[in-house]
Amino acid sequence: MINHKLAGEKAKIRAFWTLVLFCIAVGNVQASPQLDSEETAVLQESKPLVTRAGAWQSWHDFLHLKPGQETLPLILTFVNGADGRAKFTDLRIELERKPFASIKEFAGAESKSFDLTGKIKSGNTPLLVQGFGPSGARLVWKLITRKPVITAIEPDPIRLADKIRIKGKNFSEHTGDMSVLFGTVPAKILSAKPGEAELQLPHHIRAGEHEVKVAVHSVKSSPFKVRVKSHPEITFVNLLSAPPGQPLVISGKGFSSDASKNVVKFGSIQARVISASDSQISCVIPEMHFPQWNVPIRVVTDGMPSKGHAFIHVDVRVIPNEGIPIP
């Protein structure tokens, strides 16, 4: 069982390398080391390292990894002759103050990638590049990893009480390694595995369209747009006055067509819901002391309270509402 798991992980990493090398090849054809793709993320990149003729030069830097990122697949890529400029004619690279690579590894190619997966720790790892070449020769390097990808979010649109399922790839099976943001608002992750995560919508989130991002060890996915349904809204009730036991129709929007997911209250007393659609709820005025004037009617749909409320006089007289606005 363990061997199968290891084989699977190796296969994922081989696939990741193949993707990165393909992106590098495309970047070289365009005379630019652009590696932006759906499944790769640049953790860090250098400024152009530019030589002056007739002298060796040194560039000191650090590879910066946040905690947890040392467990990600990591590839360090150098592009010699970046942006269509001249190439370094000689090159020495040190990592952690030890010899790491030289011009020989390039073997005449414009780019060279090195697998650093599991070979460097979180924090700062010293990197030294020493180069020699004609005036204006240019080299750049990038530290690349695999990034999470969102392929679907269910349901869409989302209601406040919904359990949300995000599908994709390159997630973590440990919820502590991940975060999910609706814009800048974090959601609560209930469970996670490499291809799927379940979460709960952040409380007090605004209705409308949101950009959702999944981050694994601070490496963020591209945004995925999803819509959060608005709070239900009451626009009209068909009676101005009626006694307990009288049917009442509430009109509005944002209700659930599943009657059991709508809660209607007259003051603090819950009414029986007979039927419902997205725009109407039929209920029965509950038993209560009467007469009472201006009793507020409120609706809660899927845990989301209605905006504002309507009023009704609970009295023996049945008076239809013939277009009189809600106070």
CATH of the domain at 156: 2.60.40.10
Residue where a domain terminates, one of 146, 175, 196: 146
Are 51 and 57 in contact by the 8 Å Cβ rule? The answer is yes
Query: What's the mean pLDDT when you consider all of the chain?
Result: 87
The pLDDT assigned to 30 comes to 32
Report how many domains make up the chain.
3
Same domain? 13 vs 116: yes
Per residue in 103-160, pLDDT (tens digit) is 999 998 999 999 999 999 999 999 999 999 999 999 999 999 999 999 999 998 887 7
Are 18 and 12 in contact by the 8 Å Cβ rule? The answer is no
CATH number (domain holding residue 122) = 2.60.120
Question: Model confidence at 57, in pLDDT bands (50, 70, 90)?
Answer: very high
**3-class DSSP state for residue 243?**
coil
Same domain? 43 vs 85: yes
Same domain? 10 vs 135: yes
Structural domain for 259, as ranges: 233-320
For residue 40, count other CB atoms closer than 10 A to its CB: 20
Same domain? 127 vs 158: no
- Between CA 78 and CA 81, with CA 80 as vertex, the angle to 5 degrees is 145
54: alpha, beta or left? (left if phi > 0; alpha if psi -120 to 50): left
CA distances from 306 to 58, 233, 251, 303, 310 (A): 65, 5, 12, 10, 10
Query: Is residue 286, in this structure, part of any structural domain at all?
Result: yes
The pLDDT assigned to 36 comes to 44
Does 11 or 278 have the greater pLDDT score? 278
Strand partners, 276: 281
What pTM did the predictor assign?
0.66
Same domain? 69 vs 127: yes
Tokens 């814009």, residue located: 183
The pLDDT assigned to 29 comes to 31
Query: Is residue 326, in this structure, part of any structural domain at all?
Result: no
The pLDDT assigned to 215 comes to 95
The pLDDT assigned to 131 comes to 96
Q: What is the C-alpha to C-alpha distance for residues 204 and 183, in angstroms, rounded to an integer?
A: 13
The pLDDT assigned to 12 comes to 53
**3-class DSSP state for residue 105?**
helix
Per residue in 208-242, pLDDT (tens digit) is 889 999 999 999 999 999 988 878 889 999 999 99
The pLDDT assigned to 7 comes to 52
Lowest mean per-residue pLDDT among 31-45, 125-139, 168-182? 31-45
Exposed, middle or buried, 51 (CB in 10 Å: 0-12/13-18/19+)?
Answer: buried
Residue where a domain terminates, one of 146, 169, 186: 146
Residue 264 has pLDDT above 60, yes or no: yes
Does 323 or 232 have the greater pLDDT score? 232
Same domain? 7 vs 142: yes
71: alpha, beta or left? (left if phi > 0; alpha if psi -120 to 50): alpha
Residue where a domain terminates, one of 115, 146, 177: 146
